Amino acid sequence: MGAQFVFFVSAMVALAMLVAFAILLLRRWYQERRKRAEKDNLTAITRSYMRRVSGQADNEASAKWSDELKLEAVSHIHLLLRGGERQRLMQMAELDGLLRATLRKSESWRSARRIDAIRLLQQFGSEACIARLREIFARDRNKAVRLEAAFALAAVHALPPPRETIRILGMFERKINRLDKALFRASAPHYSEELALLLEDDISHDHRALIIDALGWSEDPDVLPLLRKASRMNHAELRSAALRAAGQLGVPTVEPWVLERLRDPVEFVRIQAVNCCAALGLHGAIPHLRLLLEDEAFWVRLRAEHALEVLEEQWPDHEQPRLRA
Amino acid sequence: MTWADLQLAAANAVLFLAFGCFLVVAARNGISLLQLIVAGWVFATRTKPGRNAVELWNRYGDLAFPVSVIAPAFNEELSIVDSVKALLALEYPHHEVIVVNDGSKDDTLGALIRGFEMEPYEREQIAELQTTKILGTYRSRRFPNLFVVDKENGRKADAANAGIGFARTPLVCVIDADSIIERDGLLRAAEPFMHDDGRLIAVGGTIRIANGCEIEGGALRKIGVDKKLVPRFQVVEYLRAFLSSRVANAHTDTLLLISGAFGMFRRDVLIEIGGYRHDTVGEDLELVVRMHRYMLEQKRDYAIKFVPDIVCWTEAPVNLAGIKGQRSRWQQGALETLQRHRRMIFNPRYGRIGMIGMPQLILEDIIGPPAEVIGYLVVPAAVLLGILDPMMALAFLGVTVLFGTGLSFGSLVLEEIQLRRLQSARDLYRIGEAALLENFGFRQMNLIYRLRGIRSFWRNDTKWEAVPRIGFDQAS
């Protein structure tokens, strides 16, 4: 009886898998047969949209074209268009009802499907899409989906103020990762004042460092006094973040306090200071960097050597033989 | 003891053996089925990767950890320039390629020097993990991110160690020189590090068979399927191993193997544990097991992950002679690792690795292969002698051949639904055909080769059998 059962179960497993495979094989074969016709349709849809975008009459449109195929064509064309043309294309896609299916998909019970929908909404980027993205960002039950929505909002420059982002994603209640850094950096050009205000809150050094780092992406020279202040704080991570931000901002007036940090007692702060000198092309740093070629820390020597290579290329009159790291 | 007693004892022994083998094979298949179900769940609930690397690049470009790709090369004169060009062309914001010429007997070094205008360059080695002598180091005048280490021959583990010692980036990606990395493979493999809060120490990815594919200039041009059956059988095996077993193991935090053809690691952890071991033929398995052991003994929070997307393509042996050496070596390597880390087995101190991962390895690599081979001999013999119900023989056939076929088709279903990298229905059919046929001969031959690996282990055989490959130009 037992042996019979085992044989039966084995046979059933094999049969079930074989049937599933056969169905998929047939589906693939059928899709391949239709490929030619679909390709022709896709070309026609693309042509039709291109005509409409450029304001020409479109006599080719067919009611037989599926929304799925139209969406595929729009996804492809939108990568090729810029500015007003892209906006018009997205408007037309919305008017053609292509957004409806995506909005429906964004309410799916499966988080993977909702994430797929978010990517499409980001592509469309219209006001309706942004509104839906905000809703998902604020209310979705899954953290990964909310994070995806946050990135989509950042990509369309519609990320909410940092305090909201922090609250919704629970950023300050867990360890920071590089994605948090990316989000903060993305929001910095729009919310540099809010970020500066956040620094006044009672938050951990790691979170403070995250904000200081993001200020470097603000494109706002008004944050420089904050960075200078941070570069003299007790916590090494804050000094390091200030140097990273200064390097990114690209304003050479930071030279005095960046050079100061080349003598910082903490190795990774010195490394950041060296990187900052190279990024800003600080001519005055060359003699200091030469001294760092004999720093006790290997990584400092290495970065100093690299920075000197960069700077000496920019300022060839300083060319001198130097030690290897 | 009478003759009848002896006969009874012999019959009981045969029965015991038959049932034992049956149970072992059934347990192996039960685990494989569970893995397939878990992998199905993981695939169904995972976020599919973006359509192309551009999305990843846009998002992570300035946040991606710099990576050193370490490519040990031995006698690769004919293909090394193309391979390195393909590595330099990988889509990644900051990567360096470190080629380690492992005492090649041909002109691999000369080809590199001529191909990339290499010049001698002194660079300090951060950690000396290799046991052989470094003969020279070179940098390219044309490609600032290419560095070549020339050393005495010491096998792949030693060459990889030399490269790791010279790496200066937080992540290192150790590959085989003839591995063909997907253009966005580095980005895909590095993606989990972006989500990481400092726990992640290693990431593996799916590797596929390149035989039958169109390869040009060291890069994959068109995915295809080899006409020969042996490479196709291996495609099925790789699908089963990567899409089912490793996905499930990674999901349950019991991943013990990151293939030597492509693995991304945190450099500092590799250096802390001393890099690859030189005295084993299964250095990739041993490294990951040792990483687990080290982190658990240090009571450090860590994670090892696996990305189901294809990151790399590799050339498989085209005939049974090539497979014989490869499988024996894999088997021997697994046994060496189990012996070296035996105190982890069923040891609760090592958590899931000790209680699930290592026992699973025992079932797969110590008990499993001999049990199935013995079963093939004993079960029919017992039926012929009239001491076993013929239905039992059918059940054994069921759990080996039928169940095995089902599992192979299950992995193919996952591939078609989730990855869909086979180019046509015809290719899919040809792999399906191989999934069916591999259970009639190939599977059994494989078991014999594994028994050969067990023999090499007992003999403490340290000989390295190179796997004969014909090269991509001829293969494609």
Question: Chain A residues with CB inside 8 Å of B59's CB?
Answer: 151, 182
Question: Chain B residues with CB inside 8 Å of A11's CB?
Answer: 398, 402
- Among A62-76, A229-243, B135-149, B359-373, the least confident range: A62-76
CB of B316 within 8 A of CB of B234? yes
Mean pLDDT of chain B: 89
- Domain-wise residue ranges, chain A: 71-80+88-158, 159-228, 250-325
pLDDT at A57: 80
CB of B168 within 8 A of CB of B68? yes
Q: What is the pLDDT of residues B199-258, one digit of tens each?
A: 999 999 999 999 999 988 778 889 999 999 999 999 999 999 999 999 999 999 999 999
Q: Is the pLDDT of residue A46 over 70?
A: yes
- Nearest Cα residue to B469 out of B20, B44, B78, B50: B78
- B343 vs B218 pLDDT, higher one: B343
Q: Is the pLDDT of residue B464 over 90?
A: no
Q: What is the DSSP letter of B252?
A: T
Q: Is the pLDDT of residue A87 over 90?
A: no
Same fold: A71-80+88-158 with A250-325: yes
Percent of chain B clearing pLDDT 90 (strictly above): 58
Mean pLDDT of chain A: 88
Tell whether B462 is within 8 A of chain A (Cβ): no
**Residues B124, A325: C-beta atoms closer than 8 Å:** yes
Tell whether B451 is within 8 A of chain A (Cβ): no
Q: Looking at chain A from residue 112 to 131, which residues have their Cβ under 8 Å from any Cβ of chain B?
A: 112, 115-116, 119
pLDDT at A83: 81
Amino acid at B355: M
Please tell me which residue of chain B has the smallest CA distance to A183.
B59
Structure tokens at B467: 């796997």
What number is the average pLDDT over the span A2-7? Answer: 85
How many angstroms separate the CA of residue A189 from the nearest CA in chain B?
A: 16
Amino acid at B81: V
- Which residues 6+ apart lie within 8 Å of B443 measured at CB? B400, B401, B404
How many angstroms separate the CA of residue B49 from the nearest CA in chain A?
A: 9
pLDDT at A235: 92
Tokens 């030279």: give the residue: A255
- Nearest Cα residue to B409 out of B239, B206, B225, B246: B239
Q: Give B461's pLDDT tier (boundaries 50, 70, 90).
A: confident
pLDDT at A224: 93
pLDDT at B228: 92
pLDDT at B127: 92
**Residues A115, B62: C-beta atoms closer than 8 Å:** no
Q: Is the pLDDT of residue A12 over 60?
A: yes
**Residues A17, B428: C-beta atoms closer than 8 Å:** no
Q: Looking at chain B from residue 312 to 341, which residues have their Cβ under 8 Å from any Cβ of chain A?
A: none
**Residues B409, A9: C-beta atoms closer than 8 Å:** no
CB of A28 within 8 A of CB of B416? yes
- Nearest Cα residue to B344 out of B336, B334, B355: B355
CA B328 to CA B463: how far, in whole Å? 11
What number is the average pLDDT over the span B27-35? Answer: 92
Q: What is the pLDDT of residues A97-151, one digit of tens each?
A: 888 888 888 998 888 889 888 988 888 888 888 999 999 999 999 888 998 899 8
Give me the residue from B391, B394, B429 closest to A25, CB to CB: B429
Please tell me which residue of chain B has the smallest CA distance to A14.
B406
Contacts 24+ apart (CB under 8 A), A7-12: A7/B391, A7/B394, A7/B395, A7/B397, A7/B398, A7/B402, A8/B398, A9/B398, A10/B395, A10/B398, A10/B399, A10/B402, A10/B403, A10/B406, A11/B398, A11/B402
Instruction: Select from 1.25.10, 3.40.50, 2.40.70, 1.20.5 the CATH code of A71-80+88-158.
Output: 1.25.10
pLDDT at A132: 93
Beta-bridge partners for B171? B67, B266
Q: What is the pLDDT of residues A292-320, one digit of tens each?
A: 999 999 889 989 998 998 888 877 765 55
What number is the average pLDDT over the span B355-365? Answer: 92
Q: Looking at chain B from residue 23 to 62, which residues have their Cβ under 8 Å from any Cβ of chain A?
A: 26, 33, 44-48, 50, 55, 58-60, 62
pLDDT at B259: 92
**Residues A3, B392: C-beta atoms closer than 8 Å:** yes
pLDDT at A16: 94
CB of B160 within 8 A of CB of B264? no
Tokens 């898998």: give the residue: A17
Structure tokens at A38: 């679909």
- Among B89-103, B340-354, B388-402, B425-439, the least confident range: B388-402
Tell whether B466 is within 8 A of chain A (Cβ): no
Q: Is the pLDDT of residue B191 over 90?
A: no
How many angstroms separate the CA of residue A299 from the nearest CA in chain B?
A: 9
Q: Give A275's pLDDT tier (boundaries 50, 70, 90).
A: very high
- Nearest Cα residue to B448 out of B323, B359, B335: B323
Please tell me which residue of chain B has the smallest CA distance to A26.
B425
Tell whether A151 is within 8 A of chain B (Cβ): yes
Judged by DSSP in three states, B215 sits in strand
Q: Looking at chain B from residue 123 to 142, which residues have their Cβ under 8 Å from any Cβ of chain A?
A: 123-124, 126
- Among A141-155, A180-194, B53-67, B307-321, the least confident range: B53-67
Residue B341 vs residues B68, B275, B286: alpha-carbon distances, Å? 29, 16, 9
In angstroms and rounded to an integer, the radius of gyration of the C-alpha atoms of chain A is 28
Give me the residue from B48, B391, B428 closest to A4, CB to CB: B391
- CATH class for the domain made up of A250-325: mainly alpha
Q: Looking at chain A from residue 186 to 215, which residues have their Cβ under 8 Å from any Cβ of chain B?
A: none
- A95 vs B69 pLDDT, higher one: B69
Tell whether B429 is within 8 A of chain A (Cβ): yes
What number is the average pLDDT over the span B256-269? Answer: 95
CA A239 to CA A258: how far, in whole Å? 10
Question: Chain B residues with CB inside 8 Å of A176's CB?
Answer: 197
Q: Is the pLDDT of residue B17 over 70?
A: yes
Q: Exposed e or buried b for every residue in A216-236, given b needs 16+ CB within 10 A?
A: bbbebeebbebbbebbebeeb
How many angstroms separate the CA of residue A288 from the nearest CA in chain B?
A: 22
Strand pairing class (B134-140; B146-151):
antiparallel
Please classify residue A101 by burial: count the beta carbons closer than 10 Å to its beta carbon, then call 0-12 exposed, 13-18 middle and 19+ buried. middle
Q: What is the pLDDT of residues A197-248, one digit of tens each?
A: 999 888 899 899 999 999 999 989 999 999 999 999 999 999 999 999 999 9
How many angstroms separate the CA of residue A230 from the nearest CA in chain B?
A: 22
Please tell me which residue of chain A has the smallest CA distance to B392.
A3
- Which residues 6+ apart lie within 8 Å of A99 measured at CB? A93, A124, A126, A128, A129
How many angstroms separate the CA of residue A59 from the nearest CA in chain B?
A: 32
pLDDT at A321: 43
Q: Is the pLDDT of residue B56 over 60?
A: no
Residue B185 vs residues B64, B69, B232, B234, B433: alpha-carbon distances, Å? 13, 11, 23, 21, 29
Structure tokens at B215: 């390869």
- Nearest Cα residue to B189 out of B90, B331, B80: B90
Q: Give B410's pLDDT tier (boundaries 50, 70, 90).
A: very high
pLDDT at B37: 94
- Which residues 6+ apart lie within 8 Å of A115 measured at CB? A144, A145, A148, B47, B48
Please tell me which residue of chain A has the smallest CA distance to B23.
A6
Please tell me which residue of chain B has the smallest CA distance to A21.
B413
Please tell me which residue of chain B has the smallest CA distance to A110.
B45
Residue B302 vs residues A179, A281, A306, B293: alpha-carbon distances, Å? 19, 39, 32, 11
pLDDT at A324: 41
- A62 vs A153 pLDDT, higher one: A153
Q: What is the pLDDT of residues B296-314, one digit of tens each?
A: 999 999 999 999 888 899 9
